[in-house]
Amino acid sequence: MAHNRVEIDGRVVYHDALRHTPGGLPSLQLRLAHASEQTEAGRPRPVECELEAQAFGKPAQELAGVPAGAQVRLIGFLERKGVRDRWPIVHVTEYELI
């Protein structure tokens, strides 16, 4: 199996209201702001970006209670945003408050 794992720290910018899939699975969309310093070509590089993420099941239910501005670590994998939208989104399988 090919590798596809994301682990990133950041600040919750916002999250939508908790929803449910047609099958009854809790679903939550959120945006994460990340800022760090990484090493590239032997030199420090500041990194800032915002990511879209989606959680299902227990992580969705729990993240729905996390306020905007909270620092979290999201763990999951990348998947395209939708059938017609090939841009990646982080699918959250685990998270931690940091």
15-40 pLDDT, tens digit each = 999 999 999 999 999 999 999 999 99
Query: In the beta sheet, which residues pair with residue 97?
Result: 72
Architecture of domain 6-97: Beta Barrel (2.40)
The Cα–Cα gap between 84 and 4 comes to 21
Contact, 27 vs 35, CB < 8 A?
Answer: no
85 pLDDT exceeds 90?
Answer: no
- For the cut 90, the answer to whether the pLDDT of residue 86 exceeds it is no
